[in-house]
Amino acid sequence: MSSWFDYTVNGLIIGNIYALLAVGLALIFGVSRLINFAHGSVYVVGAYAGFLAVTQFGTPLPLTIVIVVAVGALLGLAIERFGLRPLQGYAHIAPLLATIGISFVLDQLVQLTFSPDPRALPSELLQKRFQIGSGTIGALDILIAAIGIGSAGLLYYFLRFTRLGWAVRATAQDRDAAQQMGVDVDAVNRTVFAIASALGAVSGLLVGMYYNYIDPSMSFQATLKGVVAQVVGGVGNVPGAIAGSMLLGLVESYGIALFGTSYRNLFAFILLIVVLVLRPNGLFASRRQTPPEPMTGTFIAPSKPVQISPRTLLAIALAAALLPLVLPNPYVLQTLTNAWLYGLLGLSLTLIAGTVGLISLGHAALLAIGGYASALLSLDLGMPVGLSILLAGVIAAALGTLLVFPSFRLRGHYLSIATLAIGEIVSLVILNWDSLTRGPIGVSGIPPLSLFGFELDTDRSVYWFALGVLVVLAALQFRLLRSHLGRTLRAMRDDDIAARSYGIGLDRYKALAFAVGSFAAGVSGGITAHLYSYINHETFNSQLSILALTIVILGGMGNVTGAILGSVLLVGLPEVFRVAAEYRVLIYGIVLLLLVRFRPQGLLGTV
Amino acid sequence: MSAAPSLLEVRSLTRRFGGLTAVNSVDLDLAEGEFLSVIGPNGAGKTTLFNLITGHDDPDGGTVKFSGRDITRLPPEWLATLGIARTFQHGRVFANLSVMDNVLVGAHVRFKAVRPAWPSPLSLLGPFAEVALALIRPSSVVTEEKRMREEALRILARFGDRLLPRLDHPTYSLSYANRRRVEIGRALALGPKLLLLDEPTAGMNQTETAEMQTLIGDLKKSGLTILLIEHKLDMVMQLSDRVIVMDNGSVIANGKPAEVRNNPAVIEAYLGHRRSDKSEASVPEAAE
């Protein structure tokens, strides 16, 4: 029995920490209808600020907390001022993408400053424990609970009884009306970001103290957990966020008790998917409402795509094919081969996110499915490599479509969250399904690329193979976009309600597009697996999903040529300038931010 | 009750939003070829009624029948295949699609060659066949596309030279009035048996309104069954065979335009209680 008491206490403490994150996310969503993907980065910055204060200056705990609150609040102000305020009046997707960019920049900065290695965050409270009945409770547990309950109380007082708190609530209910009544909406936004970020930073500090462990990669998990807790409680609903956090903490804690630690996140994400699909408004809300009628499609920045004649494209493709004969430099060829493979990923995402408007944040999962499928088919079943890659595409298409299908009814940001979670689920299943995937050891000795019995063992032949696959799939995608399917898919993206009115079954066409797109991603993953000869559950990580998104936005949403151009630029240019690997993700983040701000339609324009 | 058999038959349709009953037990009959207008003050429940009929919202009670078939709670994409087309109050064009593509999407359900309708077990393969046909494009698909494009041109020609010179323009670049025209063109491309127009002239100036009225008049003459929501009463009175007046979710009057116009309940709904006692005025020309 005592262990169940401990698990419950543990669940509630973790829930308290999630609540500090989720409440901030809920406040931000309330006033700006935005899911802040940079929230986890604020949490990490908070943890490291506390670490710095304690280890360098030996600050006592109360002072550390004050410092962390101040750092978090200032960071929140900066994110609001420089990252989001300039995007007012942009397409709905712009601020979301900006927060993703900000989070990459912040995480990388932390990582470059403090190194990716984990650090210990010492706390004198950790050792103290009190006996309660048959269980025990730590001094730190009490502190976390006190901070959680204390901040909730302060927040309640602020929202309920102060002038600015009224303004926040008014803005959350109707931003335009509040503004017309003289509420300074910018000030409200600033305040909310400062409060939310201060809470998030404190949460990071507390987690660091609780586990006596911090590292920069906590950011992504923190964002996810905060988002899960918030969605479970109902997006934008502050009491709901607290309840959702407690529920999530308990589910995780009991889950660990029953199945073990490596399943922890699996429960969180499955809970998320179940809630999203069954009660997308959260467990504590029950409003069914039709979305407002937009004047025009506001989802994607309207633009005139750059027209490139088929003849020019053919000439470029020919030049690319002749390149190995003119310039047989293995380094250039390997880099470009990489670019072609990312180009395939770009084709996939530009169809799904650009043409259909399903902004997938878990696209790397399709690479992983394709990579594992082709590797295991050729290794375990002895299938010829060409065939296994083709089948990898088919399996990625089937499995990918099946996994997202329940989420198709979600719109906008919700769908993005669902794909993010599905991506994580795939990676966790790969990690835990030892008998099929060899678990954490990964798959090694994957046979090299070959076609019809001929081994592709030179840089040149691999280059041609990747280029050939890319050209064929790009040509097919062009043809698809110019058929009735092209306009049907784009119509759904621009206005799904009007599209339904004209007989377009959304699920059917979303699934169809997702399957076609996933095929290209699966093939790309398959080829990659044979090139690397070793893959594990981290080969296709979530950073690749964001790279794919950056490629697609750089080229122009839905733009086939743009996806390939974006991939050549983002994969090729860092190689040309010999940028060290640890700076690349930073560059992707900065590129994403600059694009969203200054050229949201991408280089070649939205199609 | 009209003598002709009803194309659309609505019985005690009700929709509540929390404490507010937006549509309260509404009955409505529309004979084939008839032109029926729904008028009423803002917030009377007209658009909600449209949303219930076209499957965009589910009623809390009541039934909707179309050609004798119960269509209550059917999703909009099914209703489109039955021949029900609608426009939207605030306009919903596909902003990044060209004028031509917008109209062609309207004809989506009529593309048969590229979307083969196979019997049940095979129908699961439908999406695969559709992708394959879109990529391979046998001659049947090509001719169908060509035929639809020609028809789209004929529909767009109804709007004179408003849209024809802008076939390839994305609709976000069009004027407000032109976007409304594209919406009507798109609805016509469906080849509708029943057309529902939700304030087709909202935000249009007098010339544009007159043009639109002529166009809708032509559609009526061609025998199309039309259900119209409109605030410009001049137009309603001239076009309608019958008028239904809604207020606070309920039908308060139903009859020929002239009868409805002088109905005291209608005047009260529009002008308020006290004034209608004193003044003999009929319903104002425009209630905006």
Looking at the predicted structure, is the pLDDT value of residue A46 above 80?
yes
Same domain, A431 and A501: yes
Chain A hits for B105, CB-CB cut-off 8 Å, are: 487-488, 491, 499, 502, 504
B76 touching A (Cβ < 8 Å): yes
A472 touching B (Cβ < 8 Å): no
Looking at the predicted structure, is the pLDDT value of residue A282 above 50?
yes
B267 vs B225: which has the higher pLDDT: B225
Q: Which of A232, A260, A278 lies at the terminal end of a domain, its last residue?
A: A278
Same domain, A229 and A348: no
Average pLDDT, chain A: 88
Same domain, A412 and A508: yes
The confidence score (pLDDT) of residue A123 equals 74
Q: Is this prediction's pTM over 0.90?
A: no
Looking at the predicted structure, is the pLDDT value of residue A289 above 60?
no
The confidence score (pLDDT) of residue A65 equals 93
- B41's CB contacts (< 8 A; 6+ apart) are B247, B269, B270, B287
The confidence score (pLDDT) of residue A295 equals 35
Helix (H, G, I), strand (E, B) or coil at B18: coil
The neighbour count for residue A336, using CB atoms within 10 Å, is 23
B226 forms beta bridges with B35, B195
Q: Sign of the CA dihedral A134, A140, A145, A146?
A: positive
B111 touching A (Cβ < 8 Å): yes
Helix (H) or strand (E) holding B156: helix B139-157
Q: Are A524 and A344 in contact (CB under 8 A)?
A: yes
DSSP character for A262?
Answer: G
Q: Are A84 and A190 in contact (CB under 8 A)?
A: no
How far is B281 from chain A, CA to nearest CA, in Å?
Answer: 35
Which CA distances in Å does A64 have to A42, A50, A53, A69? Answer: 16, 6, 6, 9
Q: Are B27 and B21 in contact (CB under 8 A)?
A: no
Q: Between chains, do A503 and B190 touch, taking CB under 8 Å as contact? A: yes
Q: Between chains, do B96 and A302 touch, taking CB under 8 Å as contact? A: yes
A300 touching B (Cβ < 8 Å): yes
Same domain, A201 and A127: yes
The confidence score (pLDDT) of residue A334 equals 92
User: Would A289 be classed as within a structural domain?
Assistant: no
B104 touching A (Cβ < 8 Å): yes
A286 touching B (Cβ < 8 Å): no
A505 touching B (Cβ < 8 Å): yes
- Provide the Cα torsion A60, A62, A66, A69; round to 10°: 110
Q: Between chains, do B94 and A293 touch, taking CB under 8 Å as contact? A: no
pLDDT per position as a tens digit, B69-82:
999 999 999 999 99
The confidence score (pLDDT) of residue B102 equals 96
pLDDT per position as a tens digit, B98-145:
999 999 999 999 999 998 877 777 777 888 999 999 999 999 999 999
Same domain, A266 and A336: no
The confidence score (pLDDT) of residue A285 equals 63
Using a 10 angstrom Cβ sphere, with 0-12 exposed, 13-18 middle and 19 or more buried, the burial of residue A190 is: middle
Q: Which of A499, A88, A398, A25 is nearest to A224 (CA)?
A: A25
A588 vs A381: which has the higher pLDDT: A381
Please state, in angstroms and rounded to a whole number, the distance separating the CA atoms of residues A141 and A13: 6
Q: Which of A278, A296, A314 lies at the terminal end of a domain, its last residue?
A: A278
How far is B274 from chain A, CA to nearest CA, in Å?
Answer: 31
Averaged pLDDT for residues B150-169? 94
The confidence score (pLDDT) of residue B4 equals 57
Amino acid identity at A561: T
Same domain, A237 and A352: no
What is the count of residue pairs from A and B with beta carbons less than 8 Å apart? Answer: 125
Mutate to test the interface with A, among B87, B92, B137, B183 (most CBs of A within 10 A): B92
B223: left (phi over 0), alpha (psi -120 to 50) or beta: left
B74 touching A (Cβ < 8 Å): no
As a whole number of Å, the end-to-end CA separation of chain B is: 31
Q: Are B245 and B21 in contact (CB under 8 A)?
A: no
Confidence of residue B274 (pLDDT cuts 50, 70, 90): low
Looking at the predicted structure, is the pLDDT value of residue B279 above 50?
no
How far is B187 from chain A, CA to nearest CA, in Å?
Answer: 8
Closest residue of chain A to B51, computed from CA coordinates: A290
B224: left (phi over 0), alpha (psi -120 to 50) or beta: beta
Averaged pLDDT for residues A573-580? 78
Q: Which of A278, A310, A344 lies at the terminal end of a domain, its last residue?
A: A278
A455 forms beta bridges with A450
Mutate to test the interface with A, among B49, B86, B98, B105 (most CBs of A within 10 A): B105
Same domain, A441 and A541: yes
A485 touching B (Cβ < 8 Å): yes
Helix (H) or strand (E) holding B31: strand B20-31
As a whole number of Å, the end-to-end CA separation of chain A is: 61
User: Would A79 be classed as within a structural domain?
Assistant: yes
Quickly list H helices, A363-505: 364-380, 385-404, 412-432, 434-437, 459-481, 484-494, 496-501
Chain B hits for A487, CB-CB cut-off 8 Å, are: 97, 101, 104-105
A30 vs A75: which has the higher pLDDT: A75
User: Would A382 be classed as within a structural domain?
Assistant: yes
Looking at the predicted structure, is the pLDDT value of residue A278 above 90?
no
Q: Between chains, do B127 and A511 touch, taking CB under 8 Å as contact? A: yes
How far is A527 from chain B, CA to nearest CA, in Å?
Answer: 24
Amino acid identity at A65: I
Q: Between chains, do A503 and B89 touch, taking CB under 8 Å as contact? A: no
A512 touching B (Cβ < 8 Å): yes
Q: Between chains, do B135 and A483 touch, taking CB under 8 Å as contact? A: yes
pLDDT per position as a tens digit, B31-90:
999 999 999 988 889 999 999 999 999 999 999 999 999 999 999 999 999 999 999 988
Closest residue of chain A to B99, computed from CA coordinates: A487
DSSP character for A89?
Answer: T
- For β-strands B225-229 and B242-247, DSSP reports them as unpaired
Q: Are A538 and A367 in contact (CB under 8 A)?
A: no
As given in the structure block, the two tokens for residue A336 are: 């470009």
B44 touching A (Cβ < 8 Å): no
Mutate to test the interface with B, among A409, A502, A559 (most CBs of B within 10 A): A502
Closest residue of chain B to A494, computed from CA coordinates: B94
Please state, in angstroms and rounded to a whole number, the distance separating the CA atoms of residues A563 and A337: 15
- Strands ordered across the beta sheet of B69-70: B20-31, B6-17, B61-66, B69-70
| Lowest-confidence region among A132-136, A249-253, A563-567, B284-288 | B284-288
The confidence score (pLDDT) of residue A456 equals 86
Chain B hits for A493, CB-CB cut-off 8 Å, are: 96
- A98's CB contacts (< 8 A; 6+ apart) are A83, A84, A87, A592, A593, A596, A597
How far is B276 from chain A, CA to nearest CA, in Å?
Answer: 33
pLDDT per position as a tens digit, A139-187:
888 888 888 889 988 988 998 889 888 888 888 888 888 888 888 888 9
Domain with residue A121: its CATH number is 1.10.3470
User: Would A604 be classed as within a structural domain?
Assistant: no
Percent of chain A with pLDDT over 90: 49
Q: Between chains, do B106 and A488 touch, taking CB under 8 Å as contact? A: no
DSSP character for B232?
Answer: B
- A78's CB contacts (< 8 A; 6+ apart) are none
B 153-212 residues with CB below 8 A of A?
A: 170-173, 179, 186, 190
Q: Between chains, do A508 and B127 touch, taking CB under 8 Å as contact? A: yes
Amino acid identity at B266: V
Structural domain containing residue A503: 332-598
The confidence score (pLDDT) of residue A1 equals 46
3-state helix, strand, coil in chain A (%, to 5): 75, 5, 20
User: Would A199 be classed as within a structural domain?
Assistant: yes
Nearest to B97 among A485, A494, A506 (CB): A494
Same domain, A160 and A31: yes
Same domain, A227 and A125: yes
Q: Which of B136, B215, B234, B110 is nearest to A503 (CA)?
A: B110
Helix (H, G, I), strand (E, B) or coil at B15: strand
B116 touching A (Cβ < 8 Å): no
The confidence score (pLDDT) of residue A291 equals 42
Q: Are A218 and A207 in contact (CB under 8 A)?
A: yes
A295 touching B (Cβ < 8 Å): yes
pLDDT per position as a tens digit, A500-525:
999 999 999 999 999 999 999 999 99
Same domain, A410 and A477: yes
The domain total for chain A is 2
Nearest to B94 among A498, A512, A606 (CB): A498
Same domain, A133 and A255: yes
Please state, in angstroms and rounded to a whole number, the distance separating the CA atoms of residues B257 and B283: 11
> What domains does chain B contain, in order, with CATH numbers?
1-93+190-288 (3.40.50.300), 95-173 (no CATH)
DSSP character for A569?
Answer: I
User: Would A497 be classed as within a structural domain?
Assistant: yes
The neighbour count for residue A332, using CB atoms within 10 Å, is 17
Chain B hits for A488, CB-CB cut-off 8 Å, are: 105, 108
Q: Are A509 and A316 in contact (CB under 8 A)?
A: no
A510 touching B (Cβ < 8 Å): no
Closest residue of chain B to A511, computed from CA coordinates: B127
- For β-strands B242-247 and B35-39, DSSP reports them as parallel
The confidence score (pLDDT) of residue A402 equals 94
Q: Between chains, do A497 and B109 touch, taking CB under 8 Å as contact? A: no
The confidence score (pLDDT) of residue A126 equals 63
Q: Between chains, do B145 and A484 touch, taking CB under 8 Å as contact? A: yes
Percent of chain B with pLDDT over 70: 92
Amino acid identity at A388: S
User: Would A176 be classed as within a structural domain?
Assistant: yes
DSSP character for A179?
Answer: H
Same domain, A362 and A482: yes
Helix (H, G, I), strand (E, B) or coil at B198: strand
User: Would A99 be classed as within a structural domain?
Assistant: yes
Chain A hits for B131, CB-CB cut-off 8 Å, are: 480, 485, 512, 516
Nearest to B94 among A290, A479, A495 (CB): A495
Mutate to test the interface with B, among A484, A493, A506, A514 (most CBs of B within 10 A): A484
Please state, in angstroms and rounded to a whole number, the distance separating the CA atoms of residues B203 and B226: 21
Residues in chain A: 607
